Chain A
Amino acid sequence: MKKIKSNDVMLQTMTRLLAFVILAFSVYIFFAGHNNPGGGFIGGLMTASAFLLMYLVFDMKSMKKVIPFNFTSIIAVGLLIAIGTGVSTMLLGYPFLTHFFEYIPTPFLGEVGLTTTLPFDLGVYLVVAGIALTIILTIAEDDK
């Protein structure tokens, strides 16, 4: 990667701000998926795009320090979470991939509709974000 010139103050400051907005919106979209358009796939893509913006503006080395994850393992972990929701209900005697939906009273948020589809979607979210970043970063580091 080329060293970013030091006069990118505007870009870097705006990115510090915008990355949070994009990340927050991606998380919102991820949670909205059950009743509104959205879900794990588009949420994961948006998270990846926020990271990508940071990768574009700051250099690779400092980003590695900020996000010390191995994205390939994140793909595997996401898939394991997704398949775990299917396997766990299977172990309870239901067919594979059975999901449950229940309104559960919680202390601060009142009655919240919780579903076991959410961990499944979390898996999708992690897989999509992991794959998108793996593809982009692998191509970016190709010249070394």
Chain B
Amino acid sequence: MNNIVVFPILIPFIVGLVMVIFRNNIQVQRWLSVFGVVAIGFVAVLLMNQIRSEGIQTLQLGGWQAPFGISMVADMFSALLILTSSIVAFACLFFAFNSIGKERESFYFYPMFLFLLTGINGSFLTGDIFHLFVNFEVMLIASYVLISLGGKKVQLRESIKYVLINVISSFLFLVAIAYLYAVTGTLNLAHLSVRVAEVGQDGLLTVVAILFLIVFGLKAALFLFFWLPGSYSAPPTAVAAIFAALLTKVGIYAIFRMFTLVFYHEPQITHLLIGIMGALTMVLGAIGAVAHWDIKKILAYNVIIAVGFIIAGLASFTSAAILGSIYYLIHDIIIKALIFLLGGTVIALAGTSKLNEMSGLIRNHPYLGWIFFIAALSLGGIPPLSGFIGKVYITQGTFEAGYYWLGAIGLITSLMVLYSIMKIFMNGFWGETALSKDMEKGTTKGLMFPIALLTVATIALGVGAEGIHVYIDIATQALLNPSLYIEAVFGGEPMP
């Protein structure tokens, strides 16, 4: 029993509620939200060190023994993701302070931001499939509000699509849970793992697994990503950044959890299917990223490519590939937030998101330009930066598993990612200076701090990859050995 496990959920929830009461005092809301996010990061570090020294931490809510109550489980994978997401949330909050505008702030922007974190952290920590569903809904409802808050025409149009697709996928999620419950008779993830291993993953369970894959594929934009480019270009920059950084990653986390813990018995069916979906995601996403001349669209398609690439690691299912996936997942959360914040700033400066209507921003904004260059290299996976090490491990893993085509597609799409993002750099920052300083539509005042913070984070993650290797290695071991998870949840008690 370790109550610290629920703190990453409780802190943003309680802070958000207090902010609802202090609705009109925006200054209080800002400070409270910063306090909440910093506290989550602190708790995540605490948890990581506990997990490192004592193994996976669990909490049985209400003191009910494992399969009967809800178990909260913090393994290294979830703790790392919580820490990363709190860093990104911190940066996006500071970006929002200077860019989101008073009318959004006074209509519960910060409470919704923290409720979004509540759902995300809850999804990372839960050990129960239905509780995972509930946390998904907490996250999604907060994201519905954030995507439509402000009420611009484009936001309203895209939020209808976004809500519709997520309602359908949530319905499928419930149906999948119902099937799984009918077959196994339990909802606890660890107990599910035991039950599935006992009966063997027969045809029916594989069908349920594929239904889960479709559900989480809709959430994570894995192949079923048709809703994503429109939805992620509608909300304001700070919101789009947190969406791009975290929402699809929760779906990826769920795929990882389900297919390493529960449905790992038929990899030649499920994991091959995951690999094919990942490859198609990468190819289609890369085509989209290269084809568009609109910054928002290019960035949204980059989110999709990364999803395919991370999933390629899971499909290979070797220890190197999983290691690479975790590295790349952490890198991708940070870099996607950074690149969306940069893209939003560029759009604010130029007053347009069309690449062929802007040029020469680097003359007036050298720091912004070179930071964008660093972010582009990191996104492409150039060695000293953070995207490199994950790419190496995933490629190594795909080759080890014999999926040469998957590795090759990953490498080719990396090139296309680099091309698409350099297209923004070369068209937006180089060339004739189209706008003089006072003709610009926005400023970078106050926006550079979060951008710089995330840049430092991506450089540190690349240079200091050795430093966090021990944590990521623990996470990989836990993902590859479901018995560790099961033992931690049941804690030596007899299993019914």
State A36–B381 Cα separation when bound (angstroms). Answer: 61
Is B14's CB under 8 angstroms from A97's CB?
Answer: no
Interface extent on A, as a size class? 10 to 19
CB neighbours (8 Å) of B3 from chain A are: 90, 95-96
B62 touches A99 (CB 8 A): yes
B61 at the interface (CB under 8 A from A): yes
CA distance A75 to B21 in the complex (A): 9
Q: Chain B, 1-27, contact with A by CB distance < 8 Å: what is the 0/1 string?
A: 101001000100110011011010000
Residues of B near A88 (CB, < 8 A) are none
Q: Could you tell me the distance between the alpha carbons of A79 and B19 in the complex, rounded to whole angstroms?
A: 12
B:60-94 near A, CB below 8 Å: 60-63
Is B254 in the interface zone, CB < 8 Å from A?
A: no
How far does the alpha carbon of A97 sit from the alpha carbon of B72 in the complex, in Å?
A: 12
Asked if A73 and B62 sit within 8 Å, CB to CB, the answer is no
Minimum CB–CB distance for A141 against chain B, Å = 15
When C-beta atoms are compared, the residue in chain B nearest to A76 turns out to be B20
| Interface flag for B214 (CB, 8 Å) | no
A96 lies within 8 A of B61 (CB): yes
Residue of B nearest to A80 (CB): B17
Known: A94-B63, A95-B63, A98-B62. A76 touches B6 (CB 8 A): no
Residue of A nearest to B13 (CB): A83
| B333 contacts A by Cβ under 8 Å | no
- Chain B: minimal CB distance from A84 (Å): 9
A76 partner residues in chain B, CB cutoff 8 A: 17-18, 20-21
Q: Which residue of B lies closest to A77 (CB)?
A: B21
Give the shortest distance, in Å, between B380 (CB) and chain A (any CB): 44
Complex CA–CA separation, A72 to B106 (angstroms): 13
Set of chain A residues within 8 Å of B376, measured between Cβ atoms: none
Contacts of A94 in B (CB 8 A): 63
Given contacts A95-B3, A96-B6, contact A73 B21 (CB under 8 A): yes
A23 at the interface (CB under 8 A from B): no
Q: Please, what's the 1-or-0 string for A83-126, where 1 marks a CB less than 8 Å from any CB in chain B?
A: 10001001000111111000000000000000000000000000
Known: A72-B23, A87-B10, A90-B3. A96 touches B17 (CB 8 A): no
Q: Which residues of B contact A75 (CB under 8 A)?
A: 20
The minimal Cβ–Cβ distance linking B69 to chain A, given in whole angstroms, is: 9
Once bound together, how far apart are the Cα atoms of A73 and B60, in whole Å?
31
Which A residues are CB-close (under 8 A) to B10? 83, 87, 96
Closest CB in chain A relative to B491 CB, distance in Å: 12
Is B277 engaged at the interface, CB distance under 8 Å to the other chain?
no
| Residues A98 and B21 in contact, CB atoms below 8 Å apart | no
Listed residue (B1, B17, B18, B23) with the most chain A CB atoms within 10 angstroms of its CB: B17
Q: Does B59 contact A (CB under 8 A)?
A: yes
With CB as the reference atom, state the residue of chain A lying closest to B5: A96
A38 to B23, CA, bound (A): 33
Please tell me if the beta carbons of A79 and B61 are within 8 angstroms of each other in the complex. Answer: no
Q: Closest CB of chain A to B201's CB: distance in Å?
A: 33
Given the known A-B contacts A83-B14, A87-B10, are A98 and B63 also in contact in the complex, defined by CB atoms under 8 Å?
yes
- Contact present for A95 and B14 (CB under 8 Å): no
Task: Report the minimal beta-carbon distance from B474 to chain A, rounded to whole angstroms.
Answer: 25
A15 and B23 alpha carbons, distance in the complex (Å): 34
Across the interface, A72 reaches (CB within 8 A) one of B1, B20, B61, namely B20
For the complex, what is the distance from the CA of A26 to the CA of B421, rounded to whole Å?
60
Contact with B along A62-87 (1 / 0, CB 8 A): 00000000001101110110010001
List A contacts of B63 (CB < 8 A): 94-95, 98
The chain A residue sitting closest to B6, CB to CB, is A96
Compute how far the CA of A94 lies from the CA of B63 in the bound complex, rounded to whole angstroms.
7
Task: Output the nearest chain A residue to B14 by Cβ-Cβ distance.
Answer: A83
- Chain B nearest CB from A129 CB (Å) reads 16
- Point out the residue from B1, B13, B21, B23 that lies within 8 Å of A95, measured CB to CB: B1
By the criterion CB–CB under 8 Å, are A95 and B20 in contact? Answer: no
- State in angstroms the CA–CA spacing of A87 and B60 once bound together: 14
Nearest-Cβ distance from residue A95 to partner chain B, whole angstroms: 5
Tell me the minimal C-beta distance from B496 to chain A in angstroms: 20
| Distance, CA A125 to CA B62, complexed state (A) | 21
Q: Digitize B123-160: 1 where CB-to-A-CB distance is under 8 Å, 0 elsewhere.
A: 00000000000000000000000000000000000000
Residues of B within 8 A of A83 (CB): 10, 13-14, 17
For A99, list chain B residues within 8 Å (CB).
62
Partner of A96, one of B14, B21, B23, B59: B59
Residues of the A chain whose Cβ atoms lie less than 8 Å from the Cβ of B60: 95
Task: Tell me the bound Cα distance from A76 to B22 in angstroms.
Answer: 10
A73/B20 in contact, CB under 8 A: yes
Minimum C-beta distance from B144 to chain A (A)? 15
A83 and B18 CA atoms in complex are apart in Å by 12
Of A73, A77, A87, A97, the residue contacting B61 (CB under 8 A) is A97
Q: Could you give 13 example pairs across A and B, Cβ below 8 Å? A: A72-B23, A76-B21, A83-B10, A83-B14, A90-B6, A94-B63, A96-B3, A96-B10, A96-B59, A96-B62, A97-B61, A98-B62, A98-B63
Q: Would you list the 10 A-B pairs with minimal beta carbon distance, nearest first?
A: A76-B20, A97-B62, A76-B17, A95-B63, A96-B6, A98-B63, A97-B61, A76-B21, A90-B3, A98-B62
Chain A contacts to B: CB under 8 angstroms: 72-73, 75-77, 79-80, 83, 87, 90, 94-99
17 additional A-B residue pairs with CB within 8 Å, beyond A73-B21, A83-B14: A75-B20, A76-B21, A80-B14, A83-B10, A83-B17, A87-B10, A90-B6, A95-B1, A95-B3, A95-B59, A95-B63, A96-B3, A96-B10, A96-B59, A96-B61, A98-B62, A99-B62
